[in-house]
Structure 1
Amino acid sequence: MPAPAQPRFTAALVAGFIGGNLSSFVKWGTENPLPPRTPDRAIPPAEMLQDMGFNVKAMTYTYSDHVVNWGVAGVHHLFSIGFAMAYCLAAEILPLVTLWQGLLFGLIVTVAFHGVVLPVFGWAPPLWQLPLDELVSETIGHLLWAWTIEIVRRDFRHRLQRRAPYMAHKASL
């Protein structure tokens, strides 16, 4: 049995930053064919920003004649990066977090946010009151999001491990 790889926290943070950016777009991509909520419901990040005193309606820009809310998009994107970096760090310490290629992490995030955090702060109804469409959209979106992070993390880690013997040999010359 091979010895466990040494933890590489800097590499984990870099992989998390890259994976978090990429997976943010993957999550957004799932919301186009599977909108997560009905048009009459507020978007939780918008509710959060309003509760913090921000004027969400003023946080917009226009791209290709579409009005985009950079505040809401920014919250999603920053959460994605933050959680991806935490996931990649955790994977260095407790590899069990990567169970099912990160899918368990995606399920935990879905339940934690949509079952606890959002309802506690009044940004979304409790999990049992959510429409099935929203549960399906959020679950699929978070599974693909987490899997994308794991793919980046694993590839980055693998490339570093393959390069390490070369670098050690080169240093000894």
Structure 2
Amino acid sequence: MFEITRTHTRNYVAALWAGFLGGNISSFVKWGTENPMPPRTPDRAIPPAEMLQDMGFKVNEMIYHYSGHIVNWGVAGIHHLFSIGFAMFYCLVAEVFPAIKLWQGAAFAILVTLGFHGVMLPLFHWAPPLWQLPFDELLSETLGHILWMWTIEIVRRDIRNRITKKPDPEYQ
């Protein structure tokens, strides 16, 4: 289960590139899950907005207009950067510890959900504790994170295999 790959089979450049691409694409997948299944009740602020405000940013001024809509680029940017950062981390770790790919990344997605929504967000008072969240929010975030990470895994595998012309390190 906790197998480590052989050093000569790893390709960190391919992993970083796959993570960058997968993080960008999967960010839109995560946003896409939030349209049919909003992740929080309308009376609560979006955690990235709370985070930016705590860091001294004027979140309500971080906007642009697109097709008659007001879009908050600060909140969108935080989500997007987190997606890229986690995807690059995931892809790098997958080069060494293939167990991170359990259930095509779904296990890692569940850990991210628990880590952020169960620990980080409540710790900084950006969201209520996990046990106080409505079922709808837990479902939206969990399913959204699983689809987000599965997208990263699909991109990771494809990009890595296209670059290296070889299977994943644990199969070499």
Does the pair score TM above 0.5? yes
1:93 maps to which of 92, 96, 112: 96
Residue of structure 1 aligned with 2:79, choices 76, 79, 84: 76
Per-residue CA deviation, residues 39-80 of structure 1 (Å, 9 max, x unaligned), is 100000000000000000000000000000000000000000
Q: Secondary structure at the match of 1:136?
A: helix
Matched, 1:107 2:110: yes
Q: Deviations over 1:5-63 (max 9, x none)?
A: 71000110000000000000000000000000011000000000000000000000000
Query: 1:31 — aligned with what?
Result: 34
Residues 21-170 of structure 1 mapped to structure 2, 5 A cutoff:
21-162=24-165
Q: Cα offset for 1:111?
A: 0.4
Q: TM-score, normalised by structure 2?
A: 0.91
Unaligned runs of 5+ in 1: 165-173
Q: Give 1:158 deviation, angstroms.
A: 1.9
Alignment-mate amino acid for residue 121 of structure 1: F
**Distance apart, 1:163 and its partner CA:** 6.8
Deviations 1:121-166 (A, max 9, x none): 00000000000000000000000000000000011122234279xx
The answer on whether the counterparts of 2:14 and 2:164 sit within 8 Å (CA) in structure 1 is no
Distance 2:119 2:26 in 1: 23
Between structure 1 and structure 2, the one with the greater Rg is 1
Structure 2 residue runs without a partner (length 5+): 168-172
The separation in 2 between residues aligned to 1:100 and 1:137, in whole angstroms, is 19
1:9 corresponds in structure 2 to 12
Q: Once the two structures are superposed, what CA deviation does each residue of 1:100-139 show, in whole Å capped at 9, x if it has no partner? A: 0011111000000000000000000000000000000000
State the alpha-carbon separation in 2 of the partners of residues 154 and 100 from structure 1: 14
Task: Report sequence identity in percent.
Answer: 70
Q: Letter of the aligned partner of 2:73 in structure 1?
A: W
